[in-house]
Amino acid sequence: MKKPAVLLLEDGWYLEGDVLGATGEAFGEVVFNTSMTGYQEILTDPSYRGQMITMTYPHIGNYGVNADDTESSGIWAAGFIVKEASSLYSNHRATGGLDPYLKENGIVGIQGIDTRALTKHIRLEGAMKGAISSSGTDIDTLKERLLRYPSIIGLDLVREVTTDISYTLYEIDDPIFNVVLMDYGAKHNIVRELTERGCRVLIMPASTGAKEILKQKPDGVMLSNGPGDPAAVTYAIETIKDLLGKVPVFGICLGHQLLGLALGGKTFKLKFGHRGANHPVMNLKDRTVEITSQNHGFAVDAESFDRKQARNIEVTHVNLNDKTVEGLRCKDVPAFSVQYHPEASPGPHDSKYLFDAFIEMMS
């Protein structure tokens, strides 16, 4: 028998459905992702810390879950929202179903709601705080709790997802390069892409200072993806400032935003963000278009760099949907970044050249 659940947004709009995953209450920023597949990678992406994910594709869970498709140590999403969660799964790699997977990880979700209406509401009104409850809490009480929940603006969520210790995920024999990956919420596939190119990757805590990083004698430093407001991660910004010009730097997603801030720019919150595996991005160097995977709610403001700074910064990529900055390159030091996820392979190979460019920079 299905158990009722409700999704409430901070503006008072709510939808009634059925429980998915664990029973209870969950709070976070309600966002939507337009990917048709990849729900397990999305759930385990640390960039979704503090967010409740709405899948716009109506049927989710039909190929189950498995241990190989996780992008981190567990689920980081605050909640999961779908039109219909498949109770049956069929895939030779699957080891379990979506609903039990959410239950095992204590993730509260909701299904059976009109996700098209929810997505349109977010597009019109913007991403906002929300609550999922399957514990019988009345709407007025739930709204009181929701309004007390903190906004993601000004929130440093990196501290909640980063590693406490430095470690190596995949050891390889005779590495060509030593790379330090700053863990702001790093995905495993970033490490896989670097390892495949002959890199030994040392993953280090987000709070690690430049002096300690340079002690490792890295050939390059990767700035990973991650959650929250980039402007709140002040310690990482200062570290990146100290690294620039001393070692090649490549930033992805939050790492891109932090590089922009370290270069003297500013970031701003997008109305409803970019989340999905089908975002068109133009490479301004050769005018080619890449189909990209994205997950971010903030962007770098290209107009925020002063004239002196702007002379040494080149915008390399733009989003073709809203013209926001999708890539930066420094002209005076070896550093570049992209807002999207080249390791996620939605093209599937459109953006792989970025890792090759990092290898070439280290060479």
Residues classed as catalytic: 253, 341, 343
Distant-in-sequence contacts of 73-76, Cβ < 8 A, 24+ apart: 74/44, 74/105, 75/43, 75/44, 75/102, 75/105, 75/107, 76/43, 76/44, 76/45, 76/46, 76/47, 76/48, 76/49, 76/161, 76/185, 76/227
